[in-house]
Amino acid sequence: MSSALEQPAYATSLALVRAAQERVAPFIHRTPVLTSATLDRLSGRSLFFKCEIFQRTGSFKFRGATNAVRMLDDATAARGVVTHSSGNHAQALALAASMRGIAAHVVMPSNSAEIKKAAVRGYGARIIECVPTLEAREATAARVLEETGGSMIPPYNHANVIAGQGTIALELLEQCADLDAIIVPLGGGGLISGITIAAKGINPKIRIIGAEPALAGDAALSKKSGSIQPPMEPVTIADGLRAALGPLTFPIVRDLVDEIALVSEDEIRAHMRLVWERMKITIEPSAAVGVAVACGCGAAALPQRVGVILCGGNVDMQTVLS
């Protein structure tokens, strides 16, 4: 394994990801890898789609949430867990907590989609609404933490969450051992950080390519500038990728992710529709960003055998099709 991966600056390691895989295995789905002759032809290479759309709660987030919840000791877990999220992490933490028999308190913006609120409640969590600003979310979460004594489990900037997401790479490289590259949707960086550490720990030569909406391209700017850049205005359709990098995810993206490709909104919509129509599976816009890099804007520079992470399939049809 590359000596760079041993640096203590990184939030996780291959050994910790392997431990997470053993810890979460009884609770998560081992998701399939699908292929498509049509998308192979369009891209000019062999693509292998890791389908986290079939993970519990409909996204990869359940892996990290489960690892974080299962690592709490019994006394700490009994006080419950807290987060602020309007999307997939809220659902994932709610279910992970329910499966351990502990309380989950989820701060959600008041303008969150009703379908998402219903899903979080359905998994047994208590929702605390706040005005739709980051400052309000953080302040409300801090108040709930003080009231409950619970443990904060953020969506991505958490070592145990990052390790849990890295289990995707372990599965994918067991299923497709000779990949040249992996394309990973990139928002706050928890997913790509875990995958990068695990994949490069197994094969230091594998390329990791971040896929980011151009309208939320702060990770690309952060990597180029060498410092974390603030999130852009939250207008991209790929709502799961609107977050900025955190202090735990940024060093991994800065040092170990090989490149970040930016994708337009038109490309996101076109490739989401392409997967729906040709592969007959439902992916969310955030997952389509990676497909767009594989088949569109970044295809010419890619190697021959490429894994593509389909990170989630939770779609607000009213928003997407309007």
- How many beta carbons lie within 10 A of that of residue 74, not counting itself? 8
Closest of 149, 150, 28, 132 to residue 87, by C-alpha: 132
- How many beta carbons lie within 10 A of that of residue 314, not counting itself? 23
pLDDT at 177: 87
Closest of 93, 32, 91, 68 to residue 162, by C-alpha: 68
Phi–psi pair at 176, nearest 5 degrees: -140, 85
pLDDT at 321: 58
Residue 43 is which amino acid? Answer: S
Residue ranges, the chain, pLDDT below 50: 1-4, 6
Q: How far apart are CA 312 and CA 131, in angstroms?
A: 26
State whether the Cα torsion 193-216-157-50 is positive or negative. negative
pLDDT at 127: 97
Structural domains of the chain, with CATH: 3-60+159-320 (3.40.50.1100), 62-152 (3.40.50.1100)
Q: How far is CA 222 from the centre of its chain?
A: 18
Classify each residue of 175-199 as buried b or exposed e, where b means 16 or more C-beta atoms within 10 Å of its C-beta: ebeebbbbbbbbbbbbbbbbbbbbb
What pairing do the DSSP bridges indicate for beta strands 81-84 and 104-109? parallel
Residue 266 is which amino acid? Answer: D
The pLDDT tens digits for 84-119 are 987 899 999 999 999 999 999 999 988 877 888 899
Would you name the residues annotated as active-site residues?
Answer: 61, 86
Residue 227 carries which DSSP code? Answer: S
Q: How far apart are CA 166 and CA 37, in angstroms?
A: 28
pLDDT at 114: 81
The pLDDT tens digits for 253-307 are 999 999 999 999 999 999 999 999 999 999 999 999 999 999 986 666 889 999 9
CB 95 within 8 Å of CB 62: yes
Q: How far apart are CA 262 and CA 283, in angstroms?
A: 19
pLDDT at 300: 63
Give me 146's structure tokens.
Answer: 């003080």
- Using CB atoms within 10 A of its CB, is residue 143 exposed (0-12), middle (13-18) or buried (19+)? middle
Question: What angle do helix axes 114-122 and 88-100 make, rounded to 10 degrees?
Answer: 10
| DSSP percent split of the chain into helix, strand, coil, nearest 5 | 50, 15, 35
pLDDT at 221: 97
Beta bridge partners of 310: 51
pLDDT at 175: 98
pTM over 0.75: yes
pLDDT at 202: 97
